[in-house]
Structure 1
Amino acid sequence: MDQITFDKYVEDRYIKQMDYYQQASAKNQKKYKQFQWVLIILSALTPVIAALNGVKSGAINIYPLINVNILVVTVSSIVAILTTGLKTFNYQELWIKYRSTYEKLKPEIYYYNFNIGPYAANDVDRESVFVTRIEAILDTEHTQWPPAKSIPNTQDKSVDPPISKK
């Protein structure tokens, strides 16, 4: 592989993939942490709100305009919805998966530049080794995505099973 083609590959493929995985990881980490904080706060508030039911300050009810039971049920429902959303959208798993792929890609350019590891072998086309290793990392990530597609639908018998690629 000539140097111009290799430089174009690094610029158009490697760097763009690095940026993608870094941004996707950060986005999913942020969503996961936001969901978690809201869940923590609402989960902690639910028993406090429930305990306030019927609390009176002297002869005056503290919450005369709020039905505490409805508030507890509403907050509990929001907690259930957010918990289901976290499970459904897999923000934590995606964050870890994208970050893991990013971390696998990251050192390859250093191995190449410093001529170490598989790049140190004599009579080896270092550029081809780099491209092969990068594409293998990306292929591994892509074949694991999405895991739900590899599970055949056992309830709907009219759906053909997935075709394996050989």
Structure 2
Amino acid sequence: MSPEEYIRDRLDDQIAWYGQKSQWNQKWFRGLRVLEIVFAMSIPFFVSEITNDTHYLKGIVGVIAVCVAVISGLVTLYKFQENWIEYRTVAETLKHEKFLYMTKTSPYNEDDAFHALVERVEGVISKENTTWAHITNEKEKQHG
């Protein structure tokens, strides 16, 4: 495999994949947190409006409180913030390695620069995959 093929087919592909996963997790994290904040802020408003004529608001407040708890649980369970940061970190690390290689900057200023690039990039990807597998196994132990 030539350096150009590796960069195009492996490195750029992985940078794009981690970038997309980072954005997806960021959107879910921020969206759910905004929803959680809005629901939580609405509870005092509805409580202040409860009278004998508006007793149904107690049910609405209860449903909103349950929604806040469910959203908080989902954010914690699926670790959207942690995944967002981890995927962004990997994407930026891979970009950094690519730019060092493209500019022939240390450690890529030697004759075996391409092999060094492959080793370092595959090391980053392998480390992330190992971390993911470990986290997945821990989740299964806790829930299974």
TM-score of the pair, normalised by structure 1: 0.79
1:134 aligns to 2:131 (yes or no): no
Aligned residue in 2 for 1:96: 85
Query: Structure 2: any 5+ residue segments left out of the alignment?
Result: none
Determine the C-alpha separation between the residues in 2 that align with 1:46 and 1:151.
33
Structure that is richer in helix per residue: 2
TM-score of the pair, normalised by structure 2: 0.90
Q: Percent identity?
A: 24
Query: Structure 1: any 5+ residue segments left out of the alignment?
Result: 56-60, 157-166
Q: Which runs of 4+ in 1 moved over 3 A?
A: 150-156
**Structure 1 residues 51, 19: CA separation in 2 closer, same or farther (over 3 Å shift)?**
same
Determine the C-alpha separation between the residues in 1 that align with 2:45 and 2:119.
58
Aligned residue in 2 for 1:53: 50
**Structure 1 residues 68, 150: CA separation in 2 closer, same or farther (over 3 Å shift)?**
closer
What displacement does 1:148 show?
A: 3.9
Determine the C-alpha separation between the residues in 1 that align with 2:116 and 2:27.
35
Residue identity in the other structure for 2:2: T
Determine the C-alpha separation between the residues in 2 that align with 1:98 and 1:25.
5
Structure with the greater alpha carbon radius of gyration: 1
**Structure 1 residues 20, 154: CA separation in 2 closer, same or farther (over 3 Å shift)?**
closer
Count, aligned residues: 143
What displacement does 1:155 show?
A: 9.5
Of 51, 61, 84, 1:72 maps to: 61
**Structure 1 residues 154, 87: CA separation in 2 closer, same or farther (over 3 Å shift)?**
closer
What displacement does 1:152 show?
A: 8.3
Please give the root-mean-square deviation of Cα atoms over the aligned residues, in Å. Answer: 2.1
